[in-house]
Structure 1
Amino acid sequence: MSVVVVATITPLPGQLEAVQQAFLEAIPQVHAEPGCELYALHRDAETLVVIERWESREALAVHGTAPALTALGPALAGKVAGPPVVHVYDAVPAGDPDKGAL
Protein backbone atom coordinates (compact mmCIF):
# COMPACT_ATOMS: atom_id res chain seq x y z
CA MET A 1 0.00 0.00 0.00
CA SER A 2 1.30 3.44 -0.91
CA VAL A 3 2.36 5.95 1.73
CA VAL A 4 1.40 9.62 1.39
CA VAL A 5 3.57 12.40 2.78
CA VAL A 6 2.66 16.06 3.20
CA ALA A 7 5.64 18.30 3.97
CA THR A 8 5.19 22.01 4.69
CA ILE A 9 8.20 24.29 4.30
CA THR A 10 8.19 27.85 5.65
CA PRO A 11 10.75 30.11 3.96
CA LEU A 12 12.14 33.11 5.76
CA PRO A 13 10.81 36.49 4.55
CA GLY A 14 12.09 37.22 1.07
CA GLN A 15 13.30 33.65 0.48
CA LEU A 16 10.21 32.00 -1.04
CA GLU A 17 11.53 32.11 -4.62
CA ALA A 18 14.98 30.81 -3.63
CA VAL A 19 13.48 27.93 -1.64
CA GLN A 20 11.12 27.10 -4.50
CA GLN A 21 14.06 27.07 -6.92
CA ALA A 22 15.99 24.66 -4.70
CA PHE A 23 13.06 22.25 -4.78
CA LEU A 24 12.60 22.64 -8.54
CA GLU A 25 16.22 21.63 -9.03
CA ALA A 26 15.84 18.56 -6.79
CA ILE A 27 12.51 17.28 -8.11
CA PRO A 28 13.78 15.52 -11.28
CA GLN A 29 16.20 13.50 -9.14
CA VAL A 30 13.46 12.62 -6.65
CA HIS A 31 11.16 11.51 -9.47
CA ALA A 32 13.89 9.07 -10.58
CA GLU A 33 14.18 7.47 -7.12
CA PRO A 34 12.90 3.90 -6.80
CA GLY A 35 9.42 3.85 -5.31
CA CYS A 36 8.54 7.48 -6.04
CA GLU A 37 4.97 7.57 -7.33
CA LEU A 38 4.29 11.28 -6.81
CA TYR A 39 6.37 14.25 -5.66
CA ALA A 40 4.52 17.48 -6.36
CA LEU A 41 5.35 21.02 -5.20
CA HIS A 42 2.64 23.56 -4.31
CA ARG A 43 2.77 27.06 -2.84
CA ASP A 44 0.86 29.99 -1.54
CA ALA A 45 2.19 33.46 -0.70
CA GLU A 46 4.17 32.26 2.35
CA THR A 47 4.71 28.49 2.31
CA LEU A 48 5.59 25.57 0.09
CA VAL A 49 3.92 22.19 0.39
CA VAL A 50 5.22 18.97 -1.11
CA ILE A 51 2.71 16.18 -1.58
CA GLU A 52 4.41 12.84 -2.03
CA ARG A 53 3.37 9.25 -2.61
CA TRP A 54 5.82 6.39 -2.14
CA GLU A 55 5.21 2.75 -2.96
CA SER A 56 6.19 1.71 0.58
CA ARG A 57 7.58 2.97 3.87
CA GLU A 58 10.86 1.33 2.86
CA ALA A 59 11.04 3.46 -0.31
CA LEU A 60 10.27 6.54 1.78
CA ALA A 61 13.08 5.64 4.18
CA VAL A 62 15.54 5.34 1.28
CA HIS A 63 14.36 8.73 -0.01
CA GLY A 64 15.29 10.24 3.34
CA THR A 65 18.96 9.47 2.69
CA ALA A 66 19.00 9.87 -1.11
CA PRO A 67 21.30 12.45 -2.73
CA ALA A 68 18.48 14.75 -3.89
CA LEU A 69 17.09 15.18 -0.40
CA THR A 70 20.43 15.40 1.38
CA ALA A 71 21.51 18.13 -1.07
CA LEU A 72 18.43 20.17 -0.19
CA GLY A 73 19.66 20.76 3.36
CA PRO A 74 22.65 22.90 2.36
CA ALA A 75 20.63 24.57 -0.42
CA LEU A 76 18.00 25.67 2.12
CA ALA A 77 20.42 26.71 4.88
CA GLY A 78 19.61 30.23 6.06
CA LYS A 79 16.50 30.38 3.88
CA VAL A 80 13.88 28.52 5.95
CA ALA A 81 12.33 29.15 9.36
CA GLY A 82 13.08 25.61 10.50
CA PRO A 83 12.82 22.01 9.42
CA PRO A 84 9.81 21.04 7.32
CA VAL A 85 6.69 19.92 9.11
CA VAL A 86 6.21 16.38 7.79
CA HIS A 87 3.15 14.16 8.13
CA VAL A 88 3.12 10.57 6.86
CA TYR A 89 -0.25 8.97 6.10
CA ASP A 90 -1.59 5.58 5.09
CA ALA A 91 -4.29 5.75 2.45
CA VAL A 92 -7.90 5.02 3.32
CA PRO A 93 -9.36 4.53 -0.18
CA ALA A 94 -13.08 5.26 -0.49
CA GLY A 95 -15.63 5.69 -3.23
CA ASP A 96 -14.42 6.03 -6.82
CA PRO A 97 -10.95 4.38 -7.07
CA ASP A 98 -9.72 7.23 -9.29
CA LYS A 99 -10.91 9.94 -6.89
CA GLY A 100 -10.83 8.35 -3.44
CA ALA A 101 -7.07 8.07 -2.94
CA LEU A 102 -3.88 9.81 -4.02
Structure 2
Amino acid sequence: MPHLTIVANIHAKPDQVDLVKAELQKLVPITRQEKGCINYDLHQDNSDPTHFVFYENWESRELWQAHMNAPHLQAYSEATAGKVDEFVLNEMAHID
Protein backbone atom coordinates (compact mmCIF):
# COMPACT_ATOMS: atom_id res chain seq x y z
CA MET A 1 0.00 0.00 0.00
CA PRO A 2 1.37 3.45 -0.88
CA HIS A 3 2.22 5.97 1.76
CA LEU A 4 -0.30 8.64 2.65
CA THR A 5 0.68 12.23 1.94
CA ILE A 6 -1.05 15.00 3.85
CA VAL A 7 -1.02 18.64 2.83
CA ALA A 8 -2.59 20.84 5.50
CA ASN A 9 -3.12 24.55 4.90
CA ILE A 10 -3.67 26.68 7.99
CA HIS A 11 -4.52 30.38 7.77
CA ALA A 12 -4.13 32.17 11.10
CA LYS A 13 -6.10 35.28 11.94
CA PRO A 14 -3.77 38.22 11.23
CA ASP A 15 -3.52 39.21 14.89
CA GLN A 16 -2.84 35.61 15.98
CA VAL A 17 0.08 34.64 13.71
CA ASP A 18 2.69 34.42 16.48
CA LEU A 19 0.49 32.28 18.73
CA VAL A 20 -0.58 29.91 15.94
CA LYS A 21 3.01 29.59 14.70
CA ALA A 22 4.27 28.76 18.19
CA GLU A 23 1.56 26.14 18.67
CA LEU A 24 2.30 24.59 15.25
CA GLN A 25 6.02 24.47 16.03
CA LYS A 26 5.27 22.55 19.25
CA LEU A 27 3.75 19.75 17.15
CA VAL A 28 6.83 19.12 15.03
CA PRO A 29 9.26 17.31 17.37
CA ILE A 30 6.51 15.25 19.03
CA THR A 31 4.93 14.19 15.75
CA ARG A 32 8.24 13.27 14.14
CA GLN A 33 8.66 10.66 16.89
CA GLU A 34 5.27 9.07 16.26
CA LYS A 35 4.96 5.60 14.81
CA GLY A 36 4.45 5.77 11.04
CA CYS A 37 5.65 9.34 10.56
CA ILE A 38 8.01 9.52 7.58
CA ASN A 39 8.26 13.30 7.50
CA TYR A 40 6.37 16.19 9.07
CA ASP A 41 7.49 19.53 7.69
CA LEU A 42 6.07 22.94 8.60
CA HIS A 43 6.29 25.88 6.18
CA GLN A 44 5.27 29.54 6.35
CA ASP A 45 4.44 31.51 3.21
CA ASN A 46 7.08 34.15 2.41
CA SER A 47 4.53 36.69 1.18
CA ASP A 48 1.63 35.87 3.52
CA PRO A 49 2.77 35.23 7.11
CA THR A 50 -0.73 34.08 8.11
CA HIS A 51 -0.43 31.03 5.82
CA PHE A 52 1.19 27.85 7.13
CA VAL A 53 1.50 24.49 5.37
CA PHE A 54 2.27 21.08 6.79
CA TYR A 55 3.67 18.59 4.28
CA GLU A 56 3.51 15.12 5.82
CA ASN A 57 4.07 11.53 4.77
CA TRP A 58 2.79 8.58 6.77
CA GLU A 59 3.27 4.84 6.44
CA SER A 60 -0.52 4.32 6.47
CA ARG A 61 -3.81 6.14 6.91
CA GLU A 62 -4.40 4.25 10.16
CA LEU A 63 -1.17 5.57 11.69
CA TRP A 64 -2.02 9.09 10.53
CA GLN A 65 -5.45 8.74 12.14
CA ALA A 66 -3.75 7.79 15.41
CA HIS A 67 -1.74 11.01 15.09
CA MET A 68 -4.90 13.03 14.52
CA ASN A 69 -6.33 11.66 17.78
CA ALA A 70 -3.13 12.17 19.79
CA PRO A 71 -3.17 14.37 22.92
CA HIS A 72 -0.77 16.93 21.43
CA LEU A 73 -3.16 17.53 18.51
CA GLN A 74 -6.03 18.01 20.95
CA ALA A 75 -3.92 20.50 22.92
CA TYR A 76 -3.13 22.39 19.70
CA SER A 77 -6.83 22.54 18.81
CA GLU A 78 -7.71 23.93 22.22
CA ALA A 79 -4.88 26.49 22.18
CA THR A 80 -5.79 27.80 18.71
CA ALA A 81 -9.59 27.69 18.96
CA GLY A 82 -10.96 30.86 17.36
CA LYS A 83 -7.50 31.92 16.19
CA VAL A 84 -7.49 30.24 12.76
CA ASP A 85 -9.46 31.63 9.80
CA GLU A 86 -9.21 28.55 7.59
CA PHE A 87 -7.96 24.97 7.77
CA VAL A 88 -7.92 22.80 4.64
CA LEU A 89 -6.53 19.27 4.74
CA ASN A 90 -5.88 17.11 1.69
CA GLU A 91 -5.16 13.39 1.80
CA MET A 92 -3.06 12.59 -1.25
CA ALA A 93 -1.24 9.74 -3.00
CA HIS A 94 2.11 10.05 -4.75
CA ILE A 95 2.01 9.50 -8.50
CA ASP A 96 5.19 8.33 -10.23
TM-score (norm 2): 0.89
Q: Return the match for 2:55 from 46, 51, 54.
A: 51
One-letter amino acid of the structure 2 residue matched with residue 78 of structure 1: G
Matched residues, number:
92
**Larger Rg: 1 or 2?**
1
One-letter amino acid of the structure 1 residue matched with residue 65 of structure 2: A
Q: State the SS of the aligned residue for 2:28.
A: helix
One-letter amino acid of the structure 2 residue matched with residue 91 of structure 1: H
Match of 1:60 in 2: 64
What is the CA distance between 1:78 and its match in structure 2? 2.3
In structure 1, how many angstroms separate the alpha carbons of the residues matched to 2:60 and 2:32?
15
Q: Which structure's residues are more often helix, by fraction?
A: 2
Q: Return the match for 2:88 from 80, 85, 91.
A: 85
In structure 2, how many angstroms separate the alpha carbons of the residues matched to 1:67 and 1:24?
15
**Cα RMSD after superposing both structures:** 1.1
Point out where structure 2 has 5 or more consecutive residues left out of the alignment. Answer: none
Point out where structure 1 has 5 or more consecutive residues left out of the alignment. Answer: 94-102
Superposed CA deviations along residues 55-88 of structure 1, whole A, max 9, x for unmatched, are 1111111111011211110111121114x20000
Sequence identity, in percent? 35
Looking at both structures, which has the greater relative contact order when contacts are Cα pairs under 8 Å and sequence separation is at least 6?
2
Q: Which structure's residues are more often strand, by fraction?
A: 2
Correspondence list, 1:1-102, <5 A? 1-44=2-45, 45=48, 46-82=50-86, 84-93=87-96
Give runs of ≥4 in structure 1 deviating > 3 Å.
none
TM-score (norm 1): 0.84
In structure 1, how many angstroms separate the alpha carbons of the residues matched to 2:23 and 2:92?
25
